[in-house]
């Protein structure tokens, strides 16, 4: 499910306050504009996933010209994909079959290495994902 909502960004001190007028209670902030946009995308996605899960109606996005905001603030459209958000935040364990040499398996078992944990760490490192 893909959505696009107008988001109000308000520079405040060293941050950007973020609000999504069409989604009640949907607020966040970021220390840079890039971070504020990412945080807006995350907040919108969480709000919408919760509404989808509860079978609540999804508010229609307003037209940008219909939104009032303070002087110094600005509006930007932010797109979200709740299907992608669900995939990225699904922490359920899945079983994978893999192949390693017998000698390596023997040494790892003798050393008491947790294969799942080691593979997860290696994949995160390879993908540049910080913990």
pLDDT in tens, 15-38: 999 999 999 999 999 999 999 999
pLDDT of residue 131: 66
Give 71-112 pLDDT, tens digit per residue: 999 999 999 999 999 998 888 788 888 899 999 999 999 999
Q: Are residues 84 and 97 in the same domain?
A: no
In tens, the pLDDT along 57-69 reads 999 999 999 999 9
- Range(s) of the domain holding residue 129: 93-131
Q: Are 66 and 9 within one domain?
A: yes
Average pLDDT over residues 112-118: 92
Total number of domains constituting the chain: 2
Q: Are residues 123 and 84 in the same domain?
A: no
Q: 74 and 119 in one domain? A: no
Contacts 24+ apart (CB under 8 A), 81-85: 81/1, 81/2, 81/3, 81/45, 82/1, 82/2, 82/3, 82/45, 82/48, 82/49, 82/52, 83/1, 85/42, 85/45, 85/46, 85/49
Residues 24 and 40 in one domain: yes
Same domain, 59 and 84: yes
- The tally of CA atoms less than 13 A away on the side-chain side of residue 4 is 5
Lookup: tokens for 116: 């799942």
**pTM (whole model) above 0.85:** no
Tell how far CA 108 is from the center of its chain.
Answer: 35
Same domain, 76 and 20: yes
Q: Is the dihedral of CA 112, 116, 119, 125 positive or negative?
A: negative
φ, ψ of residue 29 to 5 degrees: the values are -160, 170
**Does one domain contain both 38 and 101?**
no
């Amino acid at each position: 499910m893909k959505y696009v909502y107008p988001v109000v960004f308000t520079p405040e001190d060293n941050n950007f306050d973020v609000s999504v007028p069409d989604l009640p209670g949907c607020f966040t902030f970021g220390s840079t504009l890039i971070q504020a946009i990412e945080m807006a995308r995350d907040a919108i996605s969480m709000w919408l996933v919760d509404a989808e899960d509860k079978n609540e109606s999804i508010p229609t996005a307003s037209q940008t010209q219909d939104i009032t905001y303070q002087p110094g603030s600005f509006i930007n459209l932010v797109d979200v994909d709740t299907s992608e958000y669900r995939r990225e935040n699904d922490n359920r364990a899945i079983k994978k079959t893999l192949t390693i040499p017998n000698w390596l398996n023997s040494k790892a078992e003798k050393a008491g290495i947790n294969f799942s944990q080691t593979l997860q760490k290696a994949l995160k490192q390879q993908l540049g994902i910080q913990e």
